[in-house]
Amino acid sequence: MNKDVAQLVEMGANPAQARAALSKYKDLMDAAEKFFQGEFDNVQEDEQAQSPASNRAEDVEMEDDEEVEEDEGSDAYVDYDSDEDDVQQDSATTKVNDPYAGIFFSKDRREEVIEVEEEPLFVSVPGIDEQVELMSQGKFMAGCPEQGEQSFLFSLYSELSESQLNDHDGKCACPSGCGHTVKRQQSDFFALYPKFSTYIQRLQQIVPQKCPKCQTDFCFACGEKFTQGFSEPLWHCANIQGVILGVGLFMVERLFEQQKEDHEAKDTSEREPKRRKTRDVDGSDFSGGLGRKSKGGIGYAGEVKEDNSGQAEVQALQLAKDERIRSLLAEVRVYLPSLQRAGGARPCDYLPHPSSLTHLRRRFNLITSELLRNDSLADMSDRHGLYFELLEWLETISSHESLCSMMPMPIMRNISQQTVVKKANNMTIRERKIIYEGSASPRELLEVIALQAQAALKGLESSKPPEIVEIELSEEQKRQAVVDTKGKSKQDSGTLDETAKLSVFCNRLLATTSQIDRSLRDLKGNDFVTRMHASLPKAFTSASNAVYVEAGETEEEAKDAYMKWATASRFEYCDLTVSGADSSDETLNYKHYYNNEIRMLANASIPKRSVAIAKELAILTTNLPVAWDSSIFLRVDDTRVDVIKCLITGPEGTPYHNGCFIFDVFLGANYNQSPPSVKYMTTNGGKYRFNPNLYADGKVCLSLLGTWSGPGWVPFKSTLLQTLISIQSMILCEEPYLNEPGWASGAGTPQSKAYSANIRRMVVRTAMLDALKNPPEPFEEVIRTHFRLKARAIQKQLDDWLKEDDGKQLAGDGAEYAGVGRGTTGSGSSNGFQADVDALKKLLKEL
């Protein structure tokens, strides 16, 4: 009975009501119907409540354990115990106030399903010129890994179509008992018309039936009488709603997949020619500027310019495709169960067919998953029509007590499939073995976008125009103002429209998130929502709320701890101003290389720039790369979001590995028409040049920044994230010697090895030892935690570097090693490298 209890709880009953209903009505659907009719509204506690609370908690936990053993993987969620400490802390209060304390939604599920691939079957339908495809039973049930839900789908399809597998062979009998029957055919309810509206019109014609014998009006879908005065046949019963949602969502899913395949095919065909290597006149790989070589180097091909033509056409095509999907979604949404329906809820809204939930979980969730995995808030805002419709669906679903559990429930995604061909009775049968795996829930996916929306709104704050002081102008001044604004009004209007569009979209998305939480709180309780929030992704934590993470005993535990910490710490707002400044100066100073430029824009209001920064923040909040091998951390000033500091940890396999490299970033007055200003700060006081593209004075040579040849910054398309990743992967590279144009052909040469050895010595002294001794603001905690969690791995790395060292003296600019034979070789003990390593190891042990 435990599984049935869980399903009733999911529909909105508390455990006591579920047990009482199932005790009286053994059938799940009968029990659910009586529950929704209010028969068990007065049931607050069952007999178990009379026993001590601790015993009751024990019983519930034992039942949950038994259910997991007997029915593991058969439901859409897994029941398992909460943490023992939490349960023992106050078991009585928890069980009374939080009936869902023992129910969690786990993503650790994997199901394997066998589906038969059926050939499409087409039939002629009256009133339609061309033949119409039938939705087979296999297609109606496809994509459902839950055995219990499969039975609901099978039952509904069999009941509403001609089939040898049901008792009445697809016949619908007159409910008056006169003996008249009407035979149902597959084309009645399962024809896939070119338009959804045509399907609805067809149902409106066939659902109301009148018995020719006794003149009784009855429903063709459920076989029951229409009540007197009932004039909405498509709202009569749950059967109709279940089949409409099944067919409608199948049509949406098919359209969505077709357009996705078209886009991928077009994208592949357009990319293919660009894979050719650019050749110089002598046939060799072109190495002008920063030539790409197989081992390292930045990889730009000279003065190549990116072709940006056709972008408007592509965008218009995308919006046209979105509109087709949006329109179809809007048509189908009308038939979602909704207790807030205009004109009042209909009978099927109160007790929807179980297949309705099944269709939503597997078909709509697929679309939800794909759309919400879009990591660009700006793209969502540009495609706001489709995404507004998606939010309408999420709001409607979360507001219904039978459907709201979908929001925190993991989505079962198809992660792999294999086609198997079998021979049986001289027939070829094609089967698909599909593996489904739990993934992020709709609410979790929405949280990632909500975090971006919050960051974007923070970025838009600077676009608020200053208070306007009315000044009396002369007639000449008025005429001159008109002349000055000619030709600019349209552009300014477009910028303001974009600001408003992004702001409206962000606020609407946050409102939807709040409504979902409000509905879950009303239907599941505060404790349930609190636990759910604890499991949702976090964009950032403040330094004061930083959680201490243990490194663990093994490297695997250390890696897990590092990822957990880095993900939570990669993006933070903080105060980057200089404290104790002259109080007479109202313009703040900043601990930043570009302090003067920052101060000059203190009171500037540039809407176009603010929109660009808002979009940038949205991307950075949740998309900064974090990994055991290399991560990027950002600190953004809390009140001036254009003021940024960045820390990049050196990638594995490079002479920069695990070093901490600081960059000051400022998004200037012309951002995003122009690239950001980026200055490299880890220079040992302007003494060390760590790379041909990182100068001792802090200059960063990168074509995106306009400081090197190659494809440059593309206004309103290039991003700061793209710039930072380019520095991480293309400058902090495996063989930095090759980044110098004149040395691009020297891969693996003694000069290249000597250059890398010198960088390792600089990294240990400045980017590791000095960074740990005197961690620069505001990355003190990041640097200490980075080295603490990786202490064991770094000690081994240092031993390896000592063995590889060539014994030469450390040089501030490795260019002097271009000549062979400079310096002396040895163990590294005579050049100070050993002393630096020993000092660093001592600090690591102290950590």
Enzyme catalytic residues: 701
- Do residues 362 and 410 make contact, with C-beta atoms less than 8 angstroms apart? no
DSSP state of 361: I
Say which residues have a Cβ less than 8 Å from residue 502's Cβ, sequence separation at least 6: 377, 378, 381, 456, 460, 611, 614, 615
The number of CA neighbours under 13 Å toward the Cβ of 448 is 20
38 sits in the region (left: phi over 0; alpha: psi -120 to 50; else beta) called: left
Unique residue bearing structure tokens 């990168």: 702
Residue 374 to residues 367, 512, 622, Cα–Cα distance (Å): 11, 17, 12
**Residue 793's closest CA among 526, 469, 523, 559?**
559
What one-character-per-residue DSSP string does 18-69 give?
Answer: HHHHHHH--SHHHHHHHHHTTTTTT----GGGGS-HHHHHHHHHHHHHHHHH
Pairing of strands 208-210, 78-79: unpaired
What is the spatial distance between Cα 527 and Cα 612, in angstroms, rounded to a whole number?
Answer: 39
Phi, psi of 563 (to 5 degrees): -65, -40
E strands within 630-754? 632-637, 643-649, 660-666, 677-680
Pairing of strands 217-219, 208-210: antiparallel
- Do residues 666 and 677 make contact, with C-beta atoms less than 8 angstroms apart? yes
**Residue 143's closest CA among 430, 412, 409, 420?**
412
Tokens at 579, concatenated: 């404290």
Tokens at 692, concatenated: 């041909």
H helix or E strand, kind and range, residue 563 = helix 555-569
Grouping H, G, I as helix, E, B as strand and the rest as coil, residue 462 is: helix
Say which residues have a Cβ less than 8 Å from residue 812's Cβ, sequence separation at least 6: 684, 687, 688, 689, 696, 762
What is the spatial distance between Cα 285 and Cα 279, in angstroms, rounded to a whole number?
Answer: 5
What is the spatial distance between Cα 225 and Cα 208, in angstroms, rounded to a whole number?
Answer: 10
* Residue type, position 738, single letter: L
Phi, psi of 436 (to 5 degrees): -105, 145
Say which residues have a Cβ less than 8 Å from residue 70's Cβ, sequence separation at least 6: none
What is the spatial distance between Cα 753 and Cα 764, in angstroms, rounded to a whole number?
Answer: 17
Helical residues (DSSP H) of 570-664, grouped into ranges? 595-600, 607-623
What is the spatial distance between Cα 792 and Cα 844, in angstroms, rounded to a whole number?
Answer: 8
- Do residues 655 and 764 make contact, with C-beta atoms less than 8 angstroms apart? no
What is the spatial distance between Cα 619 and Cα 221, in angstroms, rounded to a whole number?
Answer: 49
What is the spatial distance between Cα 586 and Cα 67, in angstroms, rounded to a whole number?
Answer: 66
Residue 133 to residues 121, 138, 184, 187, 325, Cα–Cα distance (Å): 6, 14, 17, 9, 20
Unique residue bearing structure tokens 């040992």: 684
Burial class of residue 800 (count of CB atoms within 10 Å of its CB; 0-12, 13-18, 19+): exposed
